[in-house]
Amino acid sequence: MRVFMLGWEFPPYIAGGLGTACYGLTKALSRQGVRVTFVLPKGVGTDYTSHVRFLSSESQDTSGGDRSSAEAAGICELDGPAVAGEFVNVTFKGVASRHMHSSYQSTGGNLHTGTVGQVGQVGRVVSRPIAMRAQSESAQSEPSYGGDIFAESRRYARVCVGLAQDDEFDVIHAHDWMTFPAGMAVAAAASRPLVIHVHSTEYDRAGEQANQEVCDVERRGMQGAMRVIAVSHLTKSIIVHRYGIDPGKIDVVYNGIENDKRGEPQPASVAIAKTDKIVLFLGRITMQKGPEYFIEAAKKVLDKFDKVKFVVAGTGDKTQAMMDIAAKHGISHKVLFTGFLRGSDVERVFKMADVYVMPSVSEPFGIAPLEAISHDVPVIISKTSGVAEVLAHALKVDFWDVGDIADKILAVLKHPPLSSTLREHADLEIRKLTWDGAASRCRQVYETALGAMA
């Protein structure tokens, strides 16, 4: 099986769950012998480094329609033999882009000043004043579609058609709306089936304030696809009722988690004793993620139990508003904003946490709770999340019920047997949620799409 895969983010260019999902799924497909050509935009001027090294020139202008595919995109190399082995069947191609992650950027890139926390070398959160540049620190914020992301998406589509002419593949797999125009264009040019993978819809990101132009792109992509993959039954329901897509063409494929590093000894630094319990929120600080409900619940917890610190890890357009709410309630000294975390800092903050809370208003899936459980952290999750469909041993709440959220936080912090039970049984549950399982399901979807074209 050969797959021409289109994505808008992939480590090291990552804003959230989409990049994590693309990474885990692609690596699993490679392990199963599926040959993947992965085409993604390369952010110009970024200083991130990882296992993917782009060979294309940053100064390259790919807007001209008369350029060859070799000029339009450079092939990425994998650094390091161990990592290269994990992606032995994957070829990465990068398209120079000035608007990477524009679909998630906050408006204007203004400076937000406030008290934030930094995860220290010994695994503690230290309060410090900084100025966070929302746009450059993280792409984790409310959609504003700045920088004409629509034009960028169309340009990406034109380049992908050129790249596809030099490639051999059986099926096209497009992740989220920015790549849907490219998926449809490549499918039409190559006469190959298109599989659309919906990780999040515009209604998840913006609610009733959804951008109609984005909704139209999503609808056209799903209508033009041979099969549609949804990350949960919750997402499938939205696709059917909001976009009018036939439920018979939608397959639910849950996200997974990497379980191959479980059981490794933990660094000594994270074992340092701490007097406070740590309650963690990790994600984009946007309307979709419900950060205000986390802060309101924090106030109710602190009214009853003072030895708690609340850590908000991430950035987004509601960061300053959350700082203001904490200040209004007089709990600023108890709520620490870390800014955007990546790599070892994410690992460190999970290892510090006593409970993880995800009060999302609308969460198509939610990989972060799985990551929390993999770090032996009990989780409290919104009922309006896809991950709630697969986790029985998590405490579930209505996102708006801050009293219930507070009660459940207190229950986990004050009753060690409850915390232990949640950790033990949830740990067994996530062992079944693997990227290999997700890859196998995707391969079945590919076969179904190919059969429909025969």
Q: Are residues 226 and 247 in the same domain?
A: yes
What's the pLDDT score for residue 274? 58
Q: Are residues 237 and 353 in the same domain?
A: no
Angle between helices 402-414 and 291-304 (to 10 degrees): 50
| pLDDT tens profile 315-359 | 999 999 999 999 999 999 999 999 988 878 898 999 999 999 999
Q: Are residues 162 and 275 in the same domain?
A: no
The answer to the question of residue 123 being in a domain is no
In angstroms, the CA 17 to CA 2 distance is: 25
Residues 213, 284, 258, CA angle at the centre, nearest 5°?
105
The answer to the question of residue 121 being in a domain is no
What's the pLDDT score for residue 14? 62
The answer to whether the beta carbons of residues 380 and 395 sit under 8 Å apart is yes
Counting the structural domains of the chain, the total is: 2
The answer to the question of residue 72 being in a domain is yes
The answer to the question of residue 117 being in a domain is no
Whole-structure pTM value? 0.81
What's the pLDDT score for residue 40? 84
Q: Are residues 39 and 187 in the same domain?
A: yes
Q: Are residues 374 and 229 in the same domain?
A: no
CA atoms within 13 A on the CB side of 253: 26
Q: Are residues 426 and 439 in the same domain?
A: no
The answer to the question of residue 298 being in a domain is yes
In angstroms, the CA 188 to CA 180 distance is: 12
CA atoms within 13 A on the CB side of 193: 19
CATH number at residue 297: 3.40.50.2000
Q: Are residues 218 and 177 in the same domain?
A: yes
Q: Please give the residue range of the domain that contains residue 295.
A: 268-430
Q: Are residues 310 and 340 in the same domain?
A: yes
Amino acid sitting at position 261: K
Q: Are residues 331 and 195 in the same domain?
A: no
The answer to the question of residue 303 being in a domain is yes
The answer to whether the beta carbons of residues 9 and 18 sit under 8 Å apart is yes
Q: Are residues 219 and 302 in the same domain?
A: no
Q: Are residues 91 and 181 in the same domain?
A: yes
**Tokens 């100064």 correspond to what residue?**
59
Task: Give the residue among 285, 308, 433, 441 at the shortest CA–CA distance from 371.
Answer: 433
111-136: b or e for each residue (b if 16 or more CB lie within 10 Å)? ebebbbbbbeeebbbeeeebebebbe
**Which tokens go with 56?**
């294309």
Q: Are residues 284 and 408 in the same domain?
A: yes
The answer to the question of residue 175 being in a domain is yes
Bridge partners (DSSP) listed for residue 4? 37, 172
What's the pLDDT score for residue 84? 57
The answer to the question of residue 122 being in a domain is no
Q: Tell me which residues of the chain have a pLDDT lower than 50.
A: 44-50, 53-67, 69-75, 77-78, 80-82, 101-144, 262-273
Q: DSSP readout, 436-454?
A: HHHHHHHHHHHHHHHHHH-
